[in-house]
Structure 1
Amino acid sequence: MRSFRKPVLLAVLGVVSLAACAKVPGDARKPADTPKAGASLARTAGSTVEAKPAAGTPDARAIDAIRVLEPRAVVEHVGNAPLPGFREVVVAGQVAYVSDDGRYLFIPGAGGALYDTVNKNNLTEVSLAGLRTKLLQQIPQSDRIVFAPPNPRHRVTVFTDISCGFCRKFHSEIAEYNRQGIAVEYVAFPRAGIGSDDYRQMVSVWCAPDRRKALTDAKNDRMPPMRTCKNPVDMEYDIGQRAGLTGTPMVIADDGTQLGGYVPPDKLREILDKMEPAKKAG
């Protein structure tokens, strides 16, 4: 099974990378290998030839913008861009575009984004977070499969698939997420697509008398009996598509921020704790 990860440049620039299974129809049956911890993707200056333009030029400002986000990054190329007012840069084989004044960084392609390097904001994520919040409000609590501690400190919505290796790893630690004070609210995203075997199995989970047990069993290769009923799987799948899902699991905070794919329980708690002051200020 293939796994989806953000482009290398996003990881080099310190952006949260996704450990997730790709949304690829027909690729949902074979369990994934156990995910391995990724090494740092930032290159050292001695491992490649670094571009060194004259100080004060747009090229130099482009490199400075990259360094603001990731001081260790090595810009291998900087030059003219097809976008007026931008310079083209290459970091670790990935192309990005930096505005001539060095403020805005645009990473094209799937999972791409526009960054404000002065305020260190992902402007694309800010826009998508608002959209996700509205979309998730359309999913009733009764249509979610919830694993929560008695008095949760944090709550996340997780788009999940029963066959994805990263989804299974996430769920294998569900008790620890709860111990960390995190309530996990699962919604369905059969990444092999509507009408697939994966889809029918997820419908069976959502139609089971005990959804929590059925989901846990399914993630451990103990598929529940095939059932059909009025269920939210189609609706949740559609919302996942509209929310920009590219892989499962997709973990979303209450404010719509995408927090990653598989994130270890202690790390997720740390991220959510750091978000609290911003939430109160907002």
Structure 2
Amino acid sequence: MKRILLAMLGAASLSACAQAPQAAVAAPAAAKPAAAAAPATPKVAAGSADARAIEAVRSLNATVAIDKVGAAAMPGFREVVAGSQVVYVSDDGDYLFLPGPGGALFNLRAKRNLTQDTVAGLRRDLLKAIPASERIVFAPARPKYTVTVFTDAECGYCRKLHSEIAEYNRQGIAVEYLAFPRMGLGTEDYKKMVSVWCAADRRKALTEVKAGRDLPARQCPNTVEQQYRIGLQAGVGETGTPTVLTADGVQLGGYLPPARLREALDSLAAEAKGAAQQAPTGAARPVPAAGGA
């Protein structure tokens, strides 16, 4: 979570960073380098909601320059302007709302992206509609993690991912494939996926189509259309294929090399463990009602 917000807030101090080398060149050789100037901060009353909002933003990026802070139009929140970025912080400093594309509501105390948690839960429930018998599974004997991958017959990164399936398995990752013919229902891509799901050996058929080999056209009762429609509901139409989802419904993006995918899964597991350990004493408080300084 912190990495996302740092990326958003970091842009505010780019101009200051760009000027630093020039200042160093202009200084006399014998002079000591000047101490970095403290980032701009509006004057606010200690212990006020404005002060808590500034503290919350600075907990994510201590060097960001804050141009303005004050009451937001949304009751219970302060509006913080940092460079060209506007964020909203709850009066108690526990919640931060990042508006705009890719925005979300964050619980700073629990270090959780609440929007991502909700969307992940929706994806997890959607995936439950597809039985295990309708997934094409490549798994090690004792997988540490299981991911769901929406795939199609044509995309280059889908083929690259499958060409490394043995290494994903060596990393302890089981891959459960679902069909998402990205060109839509009734297309050649769709017909190829139907042929895969209608094959006697689906794993072999999928491997062949990923290698660019032609498959015999097959028809049978199948769930390819159902998988495609569930993929649309899960947002695969926006992200494209491959789309990799954890068992909890968290989207890890598209193609990741096996070692990097394992690192991402380890990181999520560590975050979940840390959150569980903090839950008894650090449980999230509800979003506060309207309040002032």
Verify same fold: TM over 0.5.
yes
The whole-number CA distance in structure 1 between the counterparts of 2:171 and 2:261 is: 9
Match of 2:250 among 257, 260, 263: 257
Structure 1 residue 185: Cα displacement: 0.4
Counterpart AA for 2:96? L
Residues 102 and 165 (structure 1), Cα distance of their counterparts in 2 relative to 1, 3 Å cut: farther
Structure 1 residue 119: Cα displacement: 0.9
Answer yes or no: is 1:215 the counterpart of 2:206. Answer: yes
Structure 1 equivalent of residue 13 of structure 2: 45
The whole-number CA distance in structure 2 between the counterparts of 1:174 and 1:196 is: 27
Structure 2 equivalent of residue 37 of structure 1: none
The whole-number CA distance in structure 2 between the counterparts of 1:93 and 1:163 is: 40
Residues 99 and 179 (structure 1), Cα distance of their counterparts in 2 relative to 1, 3 Å cut: same
The whole-number CA distance in structure 1 between the counterparts of 2:79 and 2:212 is: 47
The whole-number CA distance in structure 1 between the counterparts of 2:233 and 2:57 is: 30
Residues 94 and 241 (structure 1), Cα distance of their counterparts in 2 relative to 1, 3 Å cut: farther
CA deviations on 1:111-130 (whole Å, 9 max, x unpaired) are 43211011111112222333
Answer yes or no: is 1:273 the counterpart of 2:258. Answer: no
Structure 2 equivalent of residue 229 of structure 1: 220
Fraction of identical pairs, as percent = 56
CA deviations on 1:188-241 (whole Å, 9 max, x unpaired) are 122333334432332232223332233233334334333332211111122223
The whole-number CA distance in structure 2 between the counterparts of 1:199 and 1:73 is: 49
Residues 137 and 88 (structure 1), Cα distance of their counterparts in 2 relative to 1, 3 Å cut: same
- Comparing both structures, which one devotes a greater share of its residues to strand? 1
The whole-number CA distance in structure 2 between the counterparts of 1:267 and 1:170 is: 12
Structure 1 residue 180: Cα displacement: 0.5
Counterpart AA for 2:141? P
Structure 1 residue 70: Cα displacement: 5.0
Q: Is the 8 A contact 2:135 2:176 kept in 1?
A: yes
CA deviations on 1:98-147 (whole Å, 9 max, x unpaired) are 33433222234554321101111111222233333332222111211111
The whole-number CA distance in structure 2 between the counterparts of 1:234 and 1:210 is: 20
For residues 14-25 of structure 1, the aligned pairs below 5 Å read none
The whole-number CA distance in structure 2 between the counterparts of 1:89 and 1:226 is: 59
Counterpart AA for 2:184? G
Higher RCO (Cα < 8 Å, 6 or more apart): 1
> Which has more radius of gyration?
2
SS in 1 for 2:56: helix
Residues 69 and 228 (structure 1), Cα distance of their counterparts in 2 relative to 1, 3 Å cut: farther
CA deviations on 1:234-259 (whole Å, 9 max, x unpaired) are 11122223334431323222233333
**Which one is further off, 213-222 or 135-144?**
213-222
TM-score, reference length from structure 1 = 0.70
Counterpart AA for 2:258? P
The whole-number CA distance in structure 2 between the counterparts of 1:73 and 1:161 is: 43
- CA RMSD, aligned part only? 3.7
Q: Gaps (5+ residues) in structure 1? A: 1-8, 16-39
Structure 2 equivalent of residue 54 of structure 1: 43
**Which one is further off, 145-154 or 126-135?**
126-135
Match of 1:13 among 5, 16, 21: 5
Query: How many pairs were matched up?
Result: 250
SS in 2 for 1:150: coil
Q: Gaps (5+ residues) in structure 2? A: 18-38, 278-293
Counterpart AA for 1:45? S
Residues 42 and 14 (structure 1), Cα distance of their counterparts in 2 relative to 1, 3 Å cut: closer
The whole-number CA distance in structure 1 between the counterparts of 2:189 and 2:141 is: 32
Match of 2:122 among 131, 146, 167: 131
The whole-number CA distance in structure 1 between the counterparts of 2:213 and 2:3 is: 36
Structure 1 equivalent of residue 148 of structure 2: 157
The whole-number CA distance in structure 2 between the counterparts of 1:210 and 1:72 is: 57
The whole-number CA distance in structure 1 between the counterparts of 2:13 and 2:185 is: 47
SS in 2 for 1:224: coil
- Comparing both structures, which one devotes a greater share of its residues to helix? 2
